[in-house]
Structure 1
Amino acid sequence: MYYEDCLKEAIKLLYEKNEFGAPVTDTLSVISGNSGVQSAPNMGPSTSLHVLQIFHNSIRVLCNANTSEGFKPSKGASFPKIHLRTGEITGLIGGSSPSSCSILAFFTGRLHGHIRLLLLEQWKNKNEDVQVYDSLSEGVSYNKMSKKNKYCLCQSGCKVASPRVVKAIYAECVPVLISDHYVPPFSDILNWKSFSVQIPVKDIANNKRILMGISQTQYLRIHMKVKQVEKHFVGNGPPKRFDVFHMTLHSIWLIRLNIHVGN
């Protein structure tokens, strides 16, 4: 909480006074719908609520785009939560052919958040088709395991967003989004229903039945779409056309257009 409080005070100070003793808005006009705020996953949403004029009049770009916490798709952009231990994506991009995926669905992760608790209670070590663990054996790679599965379970943890969504896309494993109130990244541009499966939290017990109900033809179509959207979730230095940087700018641009049309 210490760092969050410091960040709140910094935003408040920046908004209220500049070094000349005048409000920043008088000199820079930053609170105008032309400004974007990209926030840290955990502190950003609550911190940006601290100054109401910023919350109501700026464009927020959030990893944890949670409509139950005030996120409005018409006024903010959802950004993919990407977790790279080394900053490198070498070896992460690309998956196995659909015919070699021997496991229906897979998840492993620590217990945090009520949705993961429900998933582990329902599926942990109980089914060969839906393999759910709280940890992997030593030497077993999460990325390699993902590439053996048709579907990767990507439920919310303590926050609505999970880096497993992007990891699944990198591994060309169809992401299964299990969450409530979550707005997936770039939903204003991409049709998530075409390259993912979305299951409400209340249907966790029916995961296997829902996934088994998807025909092989339909699965292959979804898998192909995952491969097609992969480039939109990759960060490059310098940025490349259609990558995550340009997708984010495009989302912000669309929001600005909508704001101006609305006005």
Structure 2
Amino acid sequence: MHFLYALLFGAHFMGFFEGQFQFLMLINGKSTLYGLQQSTAGVHHSEEFFLLNYEAMEKDLKVFVYPGGNPKTCYHSIDKKLKSNYASEHYFFMNLRNGSFLTENPDEAHLFFIPLSCQPMEDQDALPRYKEMVIQNYVRALTIKYPYWNRTLGADHFFVSCHGIGNRATAAFPFLLKNAIRLVCSPSYDSNYIPHKDVSLPQILELSFPPEGDGMWNDSTMESLPIQLSPVETHPSRTKLCFWAGSPNSEVRKNLRVHYKGLEEFEIHFVENVKRALVLDTFQKEIHRSKFCICPRGKTQVGGVCLAESMAFGCVPVIMSDYYDLPFNDILDWNAFSVILKEHDVPIMGEILKGIPEDMFEKMRQNVLKVSKYFKWHFRPVKYDEFHMVMYELWKRRHIIRY
């Protein structure tokens, strides 16, 4: 046996030292001090700074949207259900259109939005290469027709980069990737994502079937799933240690299967090639009775909408990924409401979670509920919702020098 897991001074030996929850474990016969960072403040790095600058953003930020996009190809219709894990892209386009940040005067704009995914396609069933060429021709025309791009080589421009077609199309424009701000659904460091310039665009929950006659569907998909449950299920007794369901399509997920499949305290389900909405429909109750929700790295990202699931269900996320920018990481202190581990920590994850005292878990769970408002999309923007948080991230990245 390669690993021997035991807490040396009892199952819940722990201590606080400079903001760390620490305990000793035997690994390969050697005692090792293992620590989890614990926030000693609130859920923000600096709440006062955030609130002050957020108000300035709401008051002053102006965005010019380049013409030429077809709303029917990118704006989500309230008459249709969400069909993709990347529905955040559609919500962002729709909220930007319906929000107060737009200006028709480019001279007063802080930022310029390129609606890449809104390009009309004569043939919606055309090959991906054709769609890439449509997007490339659109961007090329903007750089020729309008002077704003060439003033900064795109440094005050931004676009959404979630779908594979858009990603491949923009690869033809090095300055678009190098200079412009990208809103990215899968912000892994081993992709084209550039930390501190680009913005993580959190994905949202999707439903396979919208609830009939449920008015909340028109207000927030994030609230639709919990609302379908009974009051007892909304505030459940969390009898399981942790939950995860998905495809074992990465090394860290395969290791979860090796170490935790079939164990009583773990709700671990491995499903192949199943849409995430069906997974949610199947395992709602399991998520609600679990203390922690595991968010492991997949092929290219951290569990798709796993973070949104955790927020919606009041489940403390356990993030298992190397080189990944968490959404709003420069605003929110993720140590206050999540457990952040490395991919190689899979074998000791169970003991780490068991060693977290109940009062500490409850504090983290309450913090999850506090920050959940930042991870909600609405059909009409609401103060402090995910759309406004993304706009705040853009506001911080605007250029002070005016051209």
Which band: TM-score by shorter chain? 0.7 to 0.9
Match of 2:185 among 47, 63, 74: 63
Cα deviation code 1:58-78 (max 9, x no counterpart): 100001001111322221100
Unaligned runs of 5+ in 2: 1-125, 211-216
Contact preservation (8 Å) 1:64, 1:160: yes
Aligned to 2:201: 79
Residues 34-72 of structure 1: CA distance to partner in whole angstroms, max 9, x if unpaired? 221112254544543331010111100001001111322
Residue 331 of structure 2 is matched in structure 1 by: 189
Q: Distance in 2 between matches of 1:83 and 1:3?
A: 28
The number of equivalent residue pairs is 253
Three-state SS of the structure 1 residue aligned to 2:328 is: coil
Corresponding residue of 2:134: 10
CA RMSD of aligned residues (A): 2.8
The match for 2:256 is 119
Q: Secondary structure of 1:66's partner? A: coil
Deviates further, 149-158 or 111-120: 111-120
- 1:168 positional shift: 1.1
8 A Cα contact 1:102 1:149, kept in partner: yes
**Structure 1 residue 146 corresponds to structure 2 residue 287:** yes
Report the counterpart of residue 265 of structure 2 in structure 1.
Answer: 129
| Alignment CA distance shift 1:119-1:9 (3 Å) | same
Answer yes or no: is 1:106 the counterpart of 2:243: yes
Q: Which moved more, 1:49-58 or 1:225-234?
A: 49-58
Task: Name the CA shift for 1:139/1:169 in 2 (closer, same or farther; >3 Å).
Answer: closer
Matched, 1:217 2:341: no
SS at the partner of 1:132?
Answer: strand
The CA distance in 1 between the partners of 2:136 and 2:308, in whole Å, is: 33
Aligned equivalents of 1:139 and 1:82: distance in 2? 12
Which one is further off, 174-183 or 82-91? 82-91
* In 2: Cα distance, 1:152 partner to 1:217 partner: 18
User: 2:146 and 2:179 mapped to 1: Cα distance?
Assistant: 12
- Give, as a single letter, the amino acid of the residue that structure 2 aligns with 1:158: K
In 2, Cα distance between the equivalents of 1:139 and 1:9?
A: 36
Q: Which moved more, 1:238-247 or 1:47-56?
A: 47-56
Structure 2 counterpart of 1:208: 350
In 1, distance between residues paired with 2:316 and 2:341? Answer: 13
Q: TM-score, normalised by structure 2?
A: 0.57
Native 8 Å contact 1:160 1:181 kept in 2: no
Are positions 1:176 and 2:331 aligned together?
no
- TM superposition shift of 1:197: 0.7
Cα gap change, 1:36 to 1:132, in 2 (>3 Å): same
Distance in structure 2 (CA, Å) of the matches to 1:3 and 1:218 = 52
Aligned partner of 1:90 in structure 2 is: 224
**Residue aligning to 1:23:** 144
Residue of structure 2 equivalent to 1:49: 171
Q: Deviations over 1:120-170 (max 9, x none)?
A: 122111x1122312149x997322211101000111222213211111110
Query: Which stretch of structure 1 is more off in the superposition, 161-170 or 89-98?
Result: 89-98
Mapped to 2, the partners of 1:247 and 1:139 lie a distance apart of 25
Q: Is the 8 A contact 1:66 1:181 kept in 2?
A: yes
Moved more, 58-67 or 35-44: 35-44
Amino acid at match of 1:210: I
User: Any idea what SS the aligned residue of 1:92 has?
Assistant: helix
Which residue of the partner structure matches residue 376 of structure 2? 234
CA 1:35–1:102 in 2, change beyond 3 Å: closer, same or farther? same
Amino acid at match of 2:238: C
Q: Is the 8 A contact 1:41 1:64 kept in 2?
A: no
The TM-score normalised by the length of structure 1 is 0.85
Structure with the greater alpha carbon radius of gyration? 2
SS in 1 for 2:291: strand
What is the Cα deviation at residue 3 of structure 1? 5.4
- 1:66 and 1:41, CA in 2 relative to 1: closer, same or farther beyond 3 A? farther
Question: Distance between the aligned counterparts of 2:130 and 2:226, measured in 1?
Answer: 36
In structure 2, relative to structure 1, the CA distance for the partners of 1:214 and 1:77 (3 Å cut) is same
The alpha-carbon distance between structure 1 residues 132 and 221, as it changes in their structure 2 partners (threshold 3 A), is: same
1:156 is aligned to 297
User: Structure 1: which amino acid aligns with 2:341?
Assistant: I
> Could you tell me which amino acid in structure 1 is paired with residue 356 of structure 2?
I
Unmatched segments (≥5 aa) in structure 1: none
